[in-house]
Amino acid sequence: MTFRLRTAISMACLTGVALLVMTGSVAYPQDDSDKSNQSEKKKPEARKVDVKVKVSATDGKRLPANSVVEISGQESPCGNLNSNDARATVDDKGEAIFHGVPACKVSVKINLNEYLPVTKRVDLTDYKSCAPQTPCEVVALVLEPVH
């Protein structure tokens, strides 16, 4: 065999092996990425609702200015609400409004110096908003003074 013939055969074999290796290595990542994309697509995004919290005190006193109500997520569909509480300030009417809260199981809480802390668990999965940014239902928190 001549040197040219051996070189041509070697090049053909190396090209075939290289194509085989490249085809095999490309096929596996594509299959894995397709599966991960499918699982990401299967996760439904939680419906969002607007929540109104009505805060009152049994002693009839006005709440301190800038009183804050917090909502914490209690299950995985709550998403970021599990690690980052939503906060809203109570207005002059004793109401705090939250917009775009995931419809999941949450804890609604308020903690003020002169009152006992209040926490109420609420299932927002069936909670309804009347219109965009208009809550229909109200979560009531009643504060008891510290004696």
Is 128 in a helix, a strand, or coil? coil
CATH of 48-143, one of 3.40.50.720, 3.40.1210.10, 3.40.50.11390, 2.60.40.10: 2.60.40.10
- The H-assigned helical ranges of the chain are 3-42
User: Per-residue DSSP letters for 113-141?
Assistant: TTB--EEEEEEGGG--EEETTEESSEEEE
Are 83 and 72 in contact by the 8 Å Cβ rule? The answer is no
Residues 18-77 pLDDT 10s: 443 444 444 444 455 555 555 455 556 678 888 999 999 999 998 988 999 999 999 999
- pLDDT band at 143, cuts 50/70/90? very high
Residue 44 token pair: 């439904």
The share of the chain scoring above pLDDT 90, in percent, equals: 46
What is the amino acid identity at position 108? V
Q: Give the tokens for residue 12.
A: 């053909």
